[in-house]
Structure 1
């Protein structure tokens, strides 16, 4: 915590010094008759400076001397630009106890920022994993669809059974056409042989 507070105070000092160095060095002169009690009184006196350069330098000196600003209802407020937050203080500048509370608030602010960043990174990581899972599921669905589109070979049709032929191994039912047809076919063949004389062989030639 001490390192964080030290770096924070250094940043505040650098910012104040940078702003102060941009002004004219004439601001070091005591141009007021009575020492102002807060920033607003100091700024009112600076407005009465003779030249624009003296006015700018005086306002920079006021800003360096007083960190607090008057509140409408009384008291003062201190704006910490590192936290982008205002704190109520009793006088024109924070007391050591008030400054300690401001530093502690800054440490808590940094911790909250770190947790927020970690949560954002975790959410982004979960979203990436979910997108990857969805992409894999879509790829699997596409592969299944492609497989279903491939035509399945059609089984070759069986040769149609000849009329009157009985499949082998099928029991013969007496009186059925498939059972009687073979005997009728043999009888018809015998009749054809009777009415069709056998051709005579040619006589052999004598030598």
Structure 2
């Protein structure tokens, strides 16, 4: 009885060893197939093997989230910053902290340049607007002057009327010719009437 048990144990040992070896080999193969991808391209290749379209889309999105860099044909990787619309060379599939600092510094410089460009554009637009306003004001002033010139200017009254007014007792400077002439003229007229009386008209015969 004891010998039978010993034989059975002896027979089970090789089977157990074979089972352990088989499990170890299978586990090693599973570990090889489940090895994490090293960059985006390798991750995308694995995603292409997904069973369904939804799984493929989800796998590619996961690849984009894990790897920011893309392989370059000559070696190394490149990182595209869509905020700057610019590509940076990086050593690995993701930027290192030092590389990320350089990218952030470049983005700060990019923002400063954009701000200066916007300020210059606003200043130029403001100057153009002010120039247009000045031109409009100049045109309005020219139009106003033209309208004023078209208004008829009152004609000055003849100086003869002023002389008549002086004859009627208007004030004048004493001793001036303009003031004395009306009186002299009246005196001459009286003398003419004295020496040349107006002939009387003959009476009509009935």
Q: Which has the higher contact order (CA 8 A, sep 6+)?
A: 1
Would the TM-score normalized by the shorter structure come out above 0.5?
yes
Q: Return the structure number with greater helix share.
A: 2
1:154 to partner: Cα distance: 4.2
Partner of 2:127: 126
Contact 1:39 1:92 in 2 (8 A): yes
For residues 57 and 197 of structure 1, what CA distance do their matches in structure 2 show? 141
RMSD: 3.1
- Number of paired residues? 143
TM-score (norm 2): 0.59
Classify 1:108/1:199 alpha carbon distance in 2 versus 1 (closer, same or farther; 3 Å).
Answer: same
Matched, 1:50 2:88: no
Partner of 1:174: none
Classify 1:125/1:31 alpha carbon distance in 2 versus 1 (closer, same or farther; 3 Å).
Answer: farther
Partner of 2:73: 72
Higher-Rg member (1/2) = 2
Any unmatched runs of 5+ in structure 2?
1-30, 161-176, 179-191
Query: Would you identify which runs of 4 or more consecutive aligned residues in structure 1 move more than 4 Å?
Result: 154-159, 196-200
Any unmatched runs of 5+ in structure 1?
1-29, 160-167, 170-185, 201-207
For residues 197 and 97 of structure 1, what CA distance do their matches in structure 2 show? 138
Partner of 2:41: 40
The C-alpha deviation readout for 1:40-94, integer Å capped at 9, x for no partner, is 1110111011122221121111111110012233321111122222211121111
Classify 1:31/1:108 alpha carbon distance in 2 versus 1 (closer, same or farther; 3 Å).
Answer: farther
For residues 64 and 200 of structure 2, what CA distance do their matches in structure 1 show? 145
Matched, 1:99 2:78: no
